[in-house]
Structure 1
Amino acid sequence: MKTGRYGKPPRSGKFLIIVLVLLCAVLAPANFLSASETASPEVHQSPAPGNGAKEEWKPPSTPEGIAQRIEDIQKEMDLYLKQREEIQTDDGVESEALRRLTVALGAVQNVYSRYNSALENLGRARDEAAEASLNEGKSLIKESPPYNLSFYENVRNQFEGVDQRLKSVLSSVRLAEGSLESLRRQVAQLEGRVAELRQEGHTPEGKTITKELQLREAEADLETARVTIFLQNTNLEAYRVRRTFLEAQKKILENDLAGVKENLHFDEADRNSRMEAIAQQITKTREGIAALQAEREKLRSALTRAQGELSSARNDQQRLVARAGVSEREAWLRHNQAGLEQAEQELTVLDENRKIWEVRYGLIQGTVKTQEIWDYRSSVSSRIKDLENMFQVQQRTLASLQADILAAQKELEEAKANNAVAARMQKRIEALDKTVQTTNATVALLLGLFNNYNRFHEELTNQIDAVRIAEQVTRFGRDRFLAFWNISLWSGEGFDVTIAKLVLAIVLFGAAFFLSGRLTAFLGRTLLKRFGLDASARTATQQILFYVFMASFILSALDLVGIPLTAFAFLGGALAIGIGFGAQNFFNNLISGFILMFSKPIRPDDTIEIDGLFATVEEIGSRSTRVKTFDNIDVLMPNSYFLNNKIINWTLTDQKIRLRINVGVAYGSDVREVEKLLLKAADDHSRVLGKPEPYVVFREFGPNALEFSLFFWVDMTNASTVKVASDLRFRLVALFEDKNITVALPQMDVHLNATEPIEVFMRRPAREASPQQQEEN
């Protein structure tokens, strides 16, 4: 073919190609360019010109017809692919249109395959329904009563399995019904699009390859949407068929379960068999843990070797391979750790299941006491919440593993050219996949335990409901209880204090205490904070308001229950004596607390020293102050102690404190070098303040060493004095070793001044005399 300028085909050649493509499209088999001249069962085509009838469109309804339609679409796609080079143009418009058309035709094939599977699924659902109809209304239990707990458990499992399937089917029905309306709207839009493109194609200037490809793409999208409607309707019909027979089966199993429960009895052989099976599983799991621990040691050794290979790598290729090897070993070690955790979790699950089964057998046997049932239910409720939290942890673990797998797959794509690296990355992905499987197994274990606990909790609740509360009350008799409740404790002119009134007053006192605390806390957060008071002043004001509110609420409560203050007149003398003697320390600490709050010798978050104990002030209360030591131990100190004893406040006016490190070096060391190293250690530490600057003092010539002191400042708000001093000592050891400076050790020189040799004698130790010899002497 002749080419024009810059190698482009002349216009006549390009036009000839377009004509050939159009001829191929016209002569192509049916369904090539206009295979979707159809509509869905519920969406009808607009009548063709000159024809007023509406034609309903349906897809093939048999597996053979669907297979033929898929084959026709494949032939059409093959024909387009053969003409791909002829359709391509310089600007790439026809090439892009052909690519989009190919994708649309592939979507048509896919939806037909799904439709075929949906038809098969509908057939299976009908077969299941027909089989279930043969046993409609009949019990599924063939055994005769009585029944043991294992048999009851099997029937319960069948019932819950059918119930879960029914819930899944009902959810699928709702989803399918909701999607049909949006699909119908989509079909209407695509029909409008196809009609618009066909109208454009009727004009002379509209007949181009691009327009034909766009029209065929729109027709393919329309066919996909229409088949999808049939697909959803078929699935919906299958769901409804399954829903009908599952509801019937659930009702049968529900009746069976009630009958088994009524005829449930204790079977010792069944209990022993179950306990023995659990014991065997525990033994097997422990053996598996030992094997996993041995394998872990091997994996650790392999990881150490891989890290050594990475350290000794000499070029980039070796480093890449070694790094991939380290990642692979780490992944396998992680898989081993997940296996160990799964095995240890399995031991826990087995042990808890054993306890659950023992109590359940005890409930059937009637050996579990009522109070024990209440205690069991409380602990089971707490355990169920713990398992829910554990599920969340496992979900986060799975999400992390999936992220690691995606990252590893991305690295694998980038390293495909490097076979050695790719092989190790592939093994790493394999290890991560197995770790996901192990984690899923752990989740399955926890889920089984969770279901057992829920079932156990239900049985405990039913057992508790069976115990009548009235039977417990009648142990003493209703009349006796009411008589005790209305006993008069003391009475006087115009009042009578009974146990009922006293109990009500105590309850109101507790409510007053709670409301006073909440109200003062609210005022502290809002009103008092607006006045610009600091924390100590707000705390003191809150304490005063708390006592005022408490007194008001108590007086109101006494008036509400009808107990006047004169009822407590006989307690006045005893109360006065108690205040004078027993409450002396109370008021001493109370007043000391207010003094601390207003004078502020100590404040919250201050670092103080009490008798050699370093702590941080947490809260200044009305009677005591709570401090937390650096070992995270809370200590309650009476408020009067801070006013009567010597307290060191390290951060009263400033958070900066000066620290000192003493060090002694051997005689003969370069003292200036020692000074430089001490200052260098201080300057290198990020927590040592630059101002005031650190400095070194050569204290003296000690008996064993040249003694130096390093003085430096730290800010207590962001540094720990103990940690900073420790870091500097570590640093000094390293610096002294680099400069061959020796830290001196205690030593003693002994000088003997003798003009003549010293005589040394060796004697036998004198034997201890016997008691008889001592008596003779």
Structure 2
Amino acid sequence: MQDPIDPFAEFITTLQLLWANAFSFLGDVVQPGWRRNQVVIILVVALISWALHSRSGAILQEWVRAREGWEKWQLRVIVQIKRRLGLMWFCLLVGIVYFVMQSITWPSRSVLIGLAAQLGVVWLSIAFAARLVRNRPMRRIVTWSLWIYGTLYLLNLSDSVATFLDRVALQVGEFRLSVLTLITAIVVIGLLVTLARVASTATASTIRRNEDISPSMQVLAVKGVQLAMYGIAFYMGVKAVGIDLTGLAVLSGAIGVGLGFGLQKVVSNLVSGVIILLDKSIKPGDVISLGETFGWIQTLGARYASVVTRDGKEYLIPNEDLITGQVVNWSHSNDFVRLDIHFGTAYGDDPHVVRKLAIEAAASVERVLSFKAPVCHIVGFGDSSVDYILRFWIKDPTGGLTNIRGNVYLALWDTFKEHKISIPFPQREVKLLDDS
């Protein structure tokens, strides 16, 4: 039976081997010869590429500023190209030098130059491909992991480094997690999540273009597709690198119980959001009132609903409040809304004439519906006036309620002023007694 290999001793041995190889390479570079000449050529090409990067970047920026009407994705592509102009120049110039030296001298005299060209192309390709990962921390992890792997692969060090990383592991019973497995899992899951994001985005666009599906069901379908895509990507990534999930069953169960108590509100909002989408009581575009908040639903999220008011404020209302609270949905079953305004006239004015003029004034306002004719009724005899209520209907509550009430009040004012109808106000007469 062999003794188990000490990971720390293996790590020290690997470092010593790498240091010896690096020291040997530096020794060869210092001595005159083609190896040193190749290093000098690579450094000169790098300096030229750096100078061209600054100059060509300024030219590209001026050229883009002269263009108009570009889409955002086109500008993002230009920004990414501008950031990597130096590496692009390096790949181009060092590639030209490599092919020229291959033609005019022995192939062995340009090995390092060819290796530098390959590294530059690999790094540049990874930098552009990694832009598909939206999450910035994940994108950096994937980029650096691929850069390191590509460099080690071209230097023929990938197998020895992989063997070393696989030996550095944490083992609890039958569960074993090595550094190599962890790195591979991060890279694979990152790539699969990126593919899942692209697929879910394309599917969501198709669903939103389908007019036969209601807005609430569109939101529910998009959320379901995203959840399924990302869940499958994570599961496939974990299984692809050989991690046995059964070994984590007990630990995940304990963590789940703890999270269940700590995230009761979050889970309640998630469930409430699903209920709202299923029963279609609230959907994007509806006009609602909740307490002092009046506005229309802009988006329905997994945890909250975004309500935008007339003054531009955006309220993020938890889904649980929409389920348990009293919500006025002005456009739930239809868009018809009845509004009431109260006014009073003097006792000397004929009530029949006042009612007729009030109905005509309300009907003259643009947004007031004509097929649901306004009505006016006497509701009481006050101290100073005869009190009326004027009722009318509108079909566009998203256009605002206060403004339509104001327009009807103005129409009443103009009509009453034209027909000599007076709007009384309380008056008090104070008498001073002689004995006082």
TM-score by length of 1: 0.34
Following TM superposition, by how much is the alpha carbon of 1:668 offset from its aligned partner in structure 2, in angstroms? 3.5
Separation in structure 2 between the aligned mates of residue 541 and residue 463 of structure 1, nearest angstrom: 43
Q: Which runs of 5+ in 1 are unaligned?
A: 1-261, 263-362, 365-369, 392-453, 759-777
Separation in structure 1 between the aligned mates of residue 428 and residue 62 of structure 2, nearest angstrom: 67
Which has the greater radius of gyration? 1
The CA deviation string for residues 128-187 of structure 1, in whole angstroms up to 9 with x for no partner, is: xxxxxxxxxxxxxxxxxxxxxxxxxxxxxxxxxxxxxxxxxxxxxxxxxxxxxxxxxxxx
Say if 1:675 and 1:571 are closer, same or farther in 2 by CA, change over 3 A.
same
Say if 1:556 and 1:464 are closer, same or farther in 2 by CA, change over 3 A.
closer
Say if 1:704 and 1:634 are closer, same or farther in 2 by CA, change over 3 A.
same
State the SS of the aligned residue for 2:68. Answer: helix
Following TM superposition, by how much is the alpha carbon of 1:622 offset from its aligned partner in structure 2, in angstroms? 3.2
Separation in structure 1 between the aligned mates of residue 219 and residue 408 of structure 2, nearest angstrom: 40
**Structure 2 residue 67 is the aligned partner of structure 1 residue 388:** yes
Say if 1:607 and 1:702 are closer, same or farther in 2 by CA, change over 3 A.
same
Contact residue 615 and residue 629 of structure 1 kept, 8 A: yes
**Structure 2 residue 203 is the aligned partner of structure 1 residue 524:** no
**Structure 2 counterpart of 1:555:** 235
Following TM superposition, by how much is the alpha carbon of 1:656 offset from its aligned partner in structure 2, in angstroms? 1.0
Contact residue 660 and residue 712 of structure 1 kept, 8 A: yes
| 1:199-238 matches, cutoff 5 A | none
**Structure 1 counterpart of 2:261:** 581
Contact residue 664 and residue 744 of structure 1 kept, 8 A: yes
**Structure 2 residue 194 is the aligned partner of structure 1 residue 511:** yes
Contact residue 687 and residue 719 of structure 1 kept, 8 A: no
Following TM superposition, by how much is the alpha carbon of 1:712 offset from its aligned partner in structure 2, in angstroms? 0.8
**Structure 2 counterpart of 1:633:** 313
Separation in structure 1 between the aligned mates of residue 65 and residue 359 of structure 2, nearest angstrom: 54
Following TM superposition, by how much is the alpha carbon of 1:697 offset from its aligned partner in structure 2, in angstroms? 1.9
Separation in structure 2 between the aligned mates of residue 660 and residue 381 of structure 1, nearest angstrom: 62
Contact residue 193 and residue 230 of structure 2 kept, 8 A: no
Separation in structure 1 between the aligned mates of residue 332 and residue 403 of structure 2, nearest angstrom: 22
Contact residue 624 and residue 636 of structure 1 kept, 8 A: yes
Contact residue 520 and residue 546 of structure 1 kept, 8 A: no
**Structure 2 residue 381 is the aligned partner of structure 1 residue 698:** no
Separation in structure 1 between the aligned mates of residue 406 and residue 351 of structure 2, nearest angstrom: 22
State the SS of the aligned residue for 1:388. Answer: coil
Following TM superposition, by how much is the alpha carbon of 1:389 offset from its aligned partner in structure 2, in angstroms? 2.5
State the SS of the aligned residue for 1:743. Answer: coil
Contact residue 698 and residue 708 of structure 1 kept, 8 A: yes
Separation in structure 1 between the aligned mates of residue 84 and residue 206 of structure 2, nearest angstrom: 45
**Structure 2 residue 367 is the aligned partner of structure 1 residue 687:** yes
1:653 to 333, 337, 342: 333
State the SS of the aligned residue for 1:389. Answer: coil
Separation in structure 2 between the aligned mates of residue 383 and residue 748 of structure 1, nearest angstrom: 76
State the SS of the aligned residue for 1:642. Answer: helix
Following TM superposition, by how much is the alpha carbon of 1:518 offset from its aligned partner in structure 2, in angstroms? 2.5
Q: Aligned partner of 1:722: which letter?
A: T
Say if 1:719 and 1:500 are closer, same or farther in 2 by CA, change over 3 A.
closer
Separation in structure 2 between the aligned mates of residue 519 and residue 729 of structure 1, nearest angstrom: 50
| 1:18-167 matches, cutoff 5 A | none
**Structure 2 residue 417 is the aligned partner of structure 1 residue 737:** yes
Please identify which structure carries the higher strand content. 2
The CA deviation string for residues 66-119 of structure 1, in whole angstroms up to 9 with x for no partner, is: xxxxxxxxxxxxxxxxxxxxxxxxxxxxxxxxxxxxxxxxxxxxxxxxxxxxxx
Contact residue 365 and residue 411 of structure 2 kept, 8 A: no
Separation in structure 1 between the aligned mates of residue 195 and residue 86 of structure 2, nearest angstrom: 38
Following TM superposition, by how much is the alpha carbon of 1:659 offset from its aligned partner in structure 2, in angstroms? 0.7
Say if 1:746 and 1:517 are closer, same or farther in 2 by CA, change over 3 A.
farther
Following TM superposition, by how much is the alpha carbon of 1:717 offset from its aligned partner in structure 2, in angstroms? 6.5
Say if 1:603 and 1:464 are closer, same or farther in 2 by CA, change over 3 A.
closer
State the SS of the aligned residue for 2:361. Answer: helix
| 1:448-487 matches, cutoff 5 A | 486=165
The CA deviation string for residues 578-618 of structure 1, in whole angstroms up to 9 with x for no partner, is: 33222322322222222212222223322111012112123
The CA deviation string for residues 299-358 of structure 1, in whole angstroms up to 9 with x for no partner, is: xxxxxxxxxxxxxxxxxxxxxxxxxxxxxxxxxxxxxxxxxxxxxxxxxxxxxxxxxxxx
1:597 to 263, 277, 283: 277
Say if 1:464 and 1:519 are closer, same or farther in 2 by CA, change over 3 A.
closer
Following TM superposition, by how much is the alpha carbon of 1:662 offset from its aligned partner in structure 2, in angstroms? 1.9
Contact residue 512 and residue 550 of structure 1 kept, 8 A: no
Contact residue 310 and residue 400 of structure 2 kept, 8 A: no
Say if 1:381 and 1:507 are closer, same or farther in 2 by CA, change over 3 A.
farther
Say if 1:725 and 1:635 are closer, same or farther in 2 by CA, change over 3 A.
same
Separation in structure 2 between the aligned mates of residue 566 and residue 519 of structure 1, nearest angstrom: 34
Separation in structure 2 between the aligned mates of residue 462 and residue 537 of structure 1, nearest angstrom: 49
State the SS of the aligned residue for 1:551. Answer: helix
Separation in structure 2 between the aligned mates of residue 583 and residue 508 of structure 1, nearest angstrom: 29
**Structure 2 residue 305 is the aligned partner of structure 1 residue 622:** no
State the SS of the aligned residue for 1:635. Answer: strand
**Structure 1 counterpart of 2:219:** 539
Say if 1:489 and 1:671 are closer, same or farther in 2 by CA, change over 3 A.
farther
Separation in structure 1 between the aligned mates of residue 195 and residue 165 of structure 2, nearest angstrom: 24
Number of aligned residues: 313
Say if 1:463 and 1:517 are closer, same or farther in 2 by CA, change over 3 A.
closer
Separation in structure 2 between the aligned mates of residue 525 and residue 663 of structure 1, nearest angstrom: 47
Higher relative contact order (CA 8 A, sep 6+): 2
Q: Aligned partner of 1:389: which letter?
A: E
Say if 1:589 and 1:718 are closer, same or farther in 2 by CA, change over 3 A.
closer
Q: Cα RMSD over matched residues?
A: 4.5
Contact residue 305 and residue 316 of structure 2 kept, 8 A: yes
Separation in structure 2 between the aligned mates of residue 652 and residue 630 of structure 1, nearest angstrom: 19
State the SS of the aligned residue for 2:306. Answer: strand
The CA deviation string for residues 262-306 of structure 1, in whole angstroms up to 9 with x for no partner, is: 9xxxxxxxxxxxxxxxxxxxxxxxxxxxxxxxxxxxxxxxxxxxx
**Structure 2 residue 181 is the aligned partner of structure 1 residue 501:** no
State the SS of the aligned residue for 2:302. Answer: coil
State the SS of the aligned residue for 1:581. Answer: helix
Following TM superposition, by how much is the alpha carbon of 1:577 offset from its aligned partner in structure 2, in angstroms? 2.9
Please identify which structure carries the higher helix content. 1
Q: Aligned partner of 1:592: which letter?
A: S
State the SS of the aligned residue for 2:343. Answer: strand
| 1:256-335 matches, cutoff 5 A | none
Separation in structure 2 between the aligned mates of residue 536 and residue 462 of structure 1, nearest angstrom: 49
Contact residue 495 and residue 562 of structure 1 kept, 8 A: no
Q: Aligned partner of 2:228: which letter?
A: V
Contact residue 286 and residue 297 of structure 2 kept, 8 A: yes
Say if 1:718 and 1:458 are closer, same or farther in 2 by CA, change over 3 A.
closer
